Amino acid sequence: MLESEAMNKSLGFTRCGDKEFRWGERTFIMGVLNLTPDSFSGDGLGSDIDAALAQARRLVAEGADILDVGGESTRPDSASISADEELKRVIPMIERLSGEVMVPISIDTYKSEVARRALEAGAVMINDVWGLRRDPKLVELAAEWRVPLVIVANQREITYDEIIPEVISFLSKGINLALDVGVAWENIIIDPGIGFGKTLEGNLEIIRRLGELKALGRPILLGTSRKSMIGLVLNLPPEQRLEGTAATVALGIAGGADMVRVHDVLQMARVSRMTDAIIRGRWT
């Protein structure tokens, strides 16, 4: 058995609504559903619920294991929005999705008020891109509702010298905080936060050394899809970053990623399946 496979199998499973993510069996696909008018990736659907619902159905049909619904852009230069505005964007969609798709729904937010309403509407996972640094009530909410929590290493507003020790330290602190508040060990998922205050060199190093995050003992979610790192290397706009995304997904899985967050679900599900066949010895 490969060392990486043994480490994956030790992660056990995470229950997300009616679904179990059995880590190590294969790579799981998180499909991105952006309900913003200003998404960096060019796929923002704004307030068009019918278009968003159609896209959600397509992502599930293409192989998404979970949908990540977000109402606020995470671009470095984007303006923050109020909780009320975010709620207007995401709650009607989550209410529709929870009754019409057969995969779990994750809420991409760092605001506890938005997360609570999303859970009430049918979401079953919280994805916090600020890694528990913005709203301390968010981790309490995850513990109260007993739902999986994604802790993202966000280096915005942080000065660091070496990226891997910094990311590991950030995530370790987040894990300990979550455990102290009462989040179950099996409900914690970590994300190194590609982008989010890192340099191009730092992002590339994270993917190259992703396996070092396995020391934290939790499943790794990797989100590289269409990101500026790819644009900077290939000098391409977001809509032309498919091949670059595929390279990062394949190498990320080889390095230990357990779930990948992607816009192009059909293509990345194929990449993941092929990579799993090589790395994990599984393709069915």
pLDDT digits over 103-155, tens only? 999 999 999 999 999 999 999 999 999 999 999 899 999 999 999 999 999 99
Residue 84 lies in a domain: yes
Residue 15 lies in a domain: no
Q: Which of 227, 273, 280, 282 is catalytic?
A: 227
149: domain CATH number is 3.20.20.20
Please report, for residues 87, 159, 201, 204, 215, the alpha-carbon distance to residue 132 in angstroms, rounded to integers and kept in the order given: 19, 18, 25, 24, 20
Distant-in-sequence, close-in-space partners of 12: CB < 8 Å, separation ≥ 6: 22, 23, 186
pLDDT at position 78 = 72
If you compute the radius of gyration of the chain from its CA atoms, what whole number of angstroms results? 17
pLDDT at position 46 = 59
pLDDT at position 37 = 77
Q: What is the rounded distance in angstroms from the CA atom of residue 132 to the CA atom of residue 150? A: 10
Residue 228 lies in a domain: yes
For the chain, list residues with pLDDT below 70.
1-9, 38-47
pLDDT at position 44 = 52
Residue 18 lies in a domain: no
pLDDT at position 7 = 45
Tokens of 135: 């709203």
Under DSSP, the state recorded for 220 is: B
Q: What is the rounded distance in angstroms from the CA atom of residue 35 to the CA atom of residue 49? A: 9
Residue 255 lies in a domain: yes
Tokens of 106: 């994750």
Residue 17 lies in a domain: no
Q: Which of 261, 270, 273, 282 is catalytic?
A: 261
Residue 179 lies in a domain: yes
Q: Is 227 labeled as catalytic in the residue annotation?
A: yes
Q: What is the rounded distance in angstroms from the CA atom of residue 52 to the CA atom of residue 58? A: 10
Residue 218 lies in a domain: yes
Task: For residue 198, give its domain range.
Answer: 27-279
Structural domains in the chain (count): 1
